[in-house]
A and B are shown apart, each in its own frame.
Chain A
Amino acid sequence: MTTLPPLPMARPKLTALARQKLPCSSRDIPRSQLIKEKDDIDHYLEVNFKGLSKEEVAAYRNSYKKNICVDMLRDGYHKSFTELFSLMEKWDALREAARVRSLLWVQRPLEEQPDKLDHFYYYLTRAEAAERKEYFEDVYNNLYALACYFNNSEDKWVRNHFYERCLKIAQLIKIDGGKKEAEAHAHMGLLFEEEGQLLEAAEHYEAFHQLTQGRIWQDETGHFLNLLACESLLRTYRLLSDKMLENKEYKQAIRILIKASEIAKEGNDKKMEGEACYYLGLAHLAAGEHETALTVLNTYIKISTDLDDDLSLGRGYEATAKVLQSQGQMTEAIKYLKKVVKIARNNFQSLDFVRASTMLGDIYNEKGYYNKASEYFQQAFDMTAEMVNTLLTDETKVHYGIAKAHQMMLTVSNYIETADLTSLDCLLSWKERRSDIAPDPIIGESRRSTMEGLCQTSEHSEDLNGFPDNQKK
């Protein structure tokens, strides 16, 4: 509201007078201008008395909203009056409901917001005049202006009401080939999306998309409406499928995402197409259909390479690795993950790097290559040390510790089994000082590195409960 300049409206007499009476206005108008003559009596009064005219009295006595309503009706705009009246009733009803729930009703009563009432008057009367002449475009423009004016957080329901009206009017406009109707559908879709009713939002966005197919309309900012339609539709579908995946309705989710990818293909935007493929792949993975997931993700990777988009490439590789992992093809998975790690390092994507390294370490861990595992975990841990996310740091710490422990497992158990003096000595000294255990000549050189590793582990994993005790046993 405050960003828009005040309307240069030709205000009707009554409201003009009333405006001056309001405490928030500060204009001075000479007295003689305020007193207007209508009747002989008024004229007489004006000439002989310096009192109030009838209209001044009315302006003082009535509330501002009554003045607006009366002005509307006086000029015959009864439809605007009906609409304003019903909106005011709803306003009051909301206030009552909020009061009953004893919440803080932040919104000021209409009385104290004469700007809003003025805007109502201005645009609604113009819309009605246009409607009478059947210039539906004008009607639409005025209603849309009103909707924009009310586009702030507390008046959302007013804006939604006007969006609905815009849609109804837009459906009557045939001259421009449905552009206004398309825009109206877009607004309605936005409305529903904000409220979380994704199905209705999807409906409206679909209508929007259908209407804009093949047309090269642009909106005010210069974006193609068709592109916007595709984007919004994809977004809604993705949200819907997310919800469905949560509820484990895999088939429906996959169906919707397939629709989304088809729309993206029609939209001729590679990036969107890629995104759609990516999510489809994820959905297939969640549903357990690995083969299809692989094919879809391959398309995504191809598109990303075409677009030279490293980040999405990294995402694609990661997802593929996950699929392969669940399929059990570890070597392939490892290959992909290495690629991811490289990309992430090149692009300074620490989170991705950490995640990828952790996954790599996991795989190596399971397969038994503890050295490699701890190597990767160390990398991950070092990266998280630079980040602020303590949760992540702790997690990586634990992973690292576990890998290190596995590394040492063989050595320490060997020491315990031999159970001769030197081994015990080594173990004890390690326990005391938590520093290097002297390598047993029998076991060999390899242990030196592992002992170093032991020390480091003990430094790093102090919160590993019961670890030394377990080993002791």
Chain B
Amino acid sequence: MNVIYPLAVPKGRRLCCEVCEAPAERVCRACTVTYYCGVIHQRADWGSIHEKICQLLIPLRTSMPFYNSEEERQHGLQQLQQRQKHLIEFCYTVAQKYLFEGKHEDAVPAALHSLRFRMNVHGLSSVELVPAYLLLAEASLGLGRIVQAEEYLSQAKWTVLKSTECSYATHSLLHRNLGLLYMAKENYEEARYHLANDIYFASCAFGTEHIRTSGGYFHLANIFFGLKKLDLADTLYTKVSEIWNNYLNDHYQVLSQARIQQIDLLGKRFETDTGLDEAQEAEAIQILTSILNIRESTSDKAPQKTVFVLKILVMLYHQMMNSSKAQEYATRAFNLAKEQQLSVQEQNAVQDLLNLISAEEAHPVT
């Protein structure tokens, strides 16, 4: 039975819902430490994140086992810390991934989890909480609740202001979300200001040609596109594509080098990976797909750019081991190149890519 009776709990102990903090009526049978106020919230949480972290929550929410010696107690404490940190990161990544995939509803419980764990570990007014607040703000924006997003963002801003050593990356993220907020409120001046700040901080933190900076460029480009300044938007989109192209190319080179070396030792092939975590992959897909859509709408004037973006997508999917999509994009690129009669070089390059993908698919990686 999943139902519990609030009156039956020991005196003073309040069981609150995971999602909404109302008095809890249900419990998760699998882990018995997570409580919900109703079926809806239970289903939402399960679909969002609870399925993945169900068992991981148990050691965190029950009391510590009895240890015999001080060392063991210390060790136990450390393990607890480790688990919490791991959960923080994991929830954060999952929430980000949902956001980039556009599933804002699902992102909320995950983000809340991340926030709560951060509060547990770091305290209420630490800078570490800021990324979680920003996630929640973004999710609220995606759901259309602007006021709530503003609240979260003000909280984040206040925390950043009060803290003394906030990293550039956090500043960059804060400004990016502020930019998104103002975009939603259609205050494009402010949005541009904040995104400019975002790019500046991201460049300080990572460099101007890093994939983390590319998000800032992308959003700025969106603003210009919305303001109908198409040439500005165009240059920015090109920059974003180039950043991703360079990253994927370099990564591919590194991988093939490693593969050449390793193939002698082990005789089996390495699986390709992108070197990104899931959230970043999702971000890449989102950015590149939207650029592709925009390019396709203006495809007559500059087919090379569309082909360029398609090639990047092919490489991305190939490295993500999603060969069907890779194939699809490769064929699209090839057809487009043929139709628009691009230079022979371009056509050959696309052809090579297509062959590579087909070859990979024929001999699947172990």
Contacts and interface: CB of A to CB of B under 8 A. Distances in A.
B248 to A, nearest CB: 20
Interface string A126-140: 000000100000000
B190 A39 contact: yes
Contacts of B195: 73
Interface in B222-236: 224, 229, 231-232, 235-236
Contact of B193 (A70, A72, A76): A70
A73 B232 contact: no
B196 A73 contact: yes
Contacts of B189: 38
Interface in B207-235: 208-209, 217, 220, 224, 229, 231-232, 235
Nearest to B204: A85
A280 to B, nearest CB: 49
Contact of A79 (B187, B190, B193, B235): B235
B272 interface: no
A81 B208 contact: yes
B232 A86 contact: no
A86 B208 contact: yes
29 contacts: A38-B187, A38-B189, A39-B187, A66-B200, A70-B193, A70-B196, A70-B197, A70-B200, A73-B196, A73-B200, A73-B220, A74-B192, A74-B196, A76-B220, A76-B224, A76-B232, A78-B217, A78-B220, A78-B239, A79-B235, A81-B199, A81-B203, A82-B208, A82-B209, A85-B203, A85-B208, A86-B208, A132-B231, A132-B235
Contacts of B203: 81, 85
Interface in A74-94: 74, 76, 78-79, 81-82, 85-86
Given A76-B224, A85-B203, 19 more contacts: A38-B187, A39-B190, A66-B200, A70-B193, A70-B200, A73-B199, A73-B200, A73-B220, A74-B192, A74-B193, A74-B196, A76-B236, A78-B220, A78-B239, A79-B235, A81-B203, A81-B208, A82-B208, A82-B209
Interface size class of B (residues with CB under 8 A): 20 to 34
A78 B199 contact: yes
A81 B187 CA distance: 23
Residue among B187, B199, B209, B231 with the highest chain A CB neighbour number at 10 A: B199
Contacts of B229: 76
Contacts of A73: 192, 195-196, 199-200, 220
Q: Is the interface of B mostly helix, strand, loop or mixed?
A: helix
Interface string B149-174: 00000000000000000000000000
A287 B235 CA distance: 60
A324 B236 CA distance: 73
A277 interface: no
Contacts of A39: 187, 190
Contacts of A81: 199-200, 203, 208
A39 B191 CA distance: 12
A81 B199 CA distance: 10
A79 B200 CA distance: 13
B240 to A, nearest CB: 10
A78 B239 CA distance: 9
The 9 closest A-B pairs by CB, nearest first: A73-B196, A76-B232, A70-B196, A74-B196, A82-B208, A74-B192, A69-B200, A73-B199, A85-B208
A39 B194 CA distance: 14
B302 to A, nearest CB: 14
Interface string B222-260: 001000010110011001000000000000000000000
Residue among A39, A66, A71, A78 with the highest chain B CB neighbour number at 10 A: A78
Nearest to B201: A66
A184 to B, nearest CB: 24
Interface of A: 38-39, 66, 69-74, 76, 78-79, 81-82, 85-86, 132
Interface of B: 187, 189-190, 192-193, 195-197, 199-200, 203, 208-209, 217, 220, 224, 229, 231-232, 235-236, 239
A322 B192 CA distance: 76
A302 to B, nearest CB: 59
A81 B217 CA distance: 12
Nearest to A83: B208
B245 to A, nearest CB: 16
A76 B233 CA distance: 8
A79 B220 CA distance: 14
Nearest to B231: A132
Contacts of B220: 73, 76, 78
Contacts of B187: 38-39
Nearest to B200: A69
A38 B191 CA distance: 12
A120 to B, nearest CB: 15
Contacts of A69: 196, 200
Residue among A76, A85, A132 with the highest chain B CB neighbour number at 10 A: A76
Nearest to A55: B193
Residue among B193, B195, B229, B236 with the highest chain A CB neighbour number at 10 A: B193
A38 B190 contact: yes
Contacts of B197: 70
A78 B187 CA distance: 21
Contacts of A38: 187, 189-190
B348 to A, nearest CB: 26
A132 to B, nearest CB: 6
A79 B239 CA distance: 9
Contacts of B208: 81-82, 85-86
A38 B194 CA distance: 14
A78 B208 CA distance: 10
Contacts of A82: 208-209
A51 B236 CA distance: 37
A78 B200 contact: no
A72 B192 CA distance: 11
A381 to B, nearest CB: 71
A311 to B, nearest CB: 58
Contacts of A76: 220, 224, 229, 232, 235-236
Nearest to B208: A82
A86 B235 CA distance: 19
Nearest to A73: B196
A78 B199 CA distance: 9
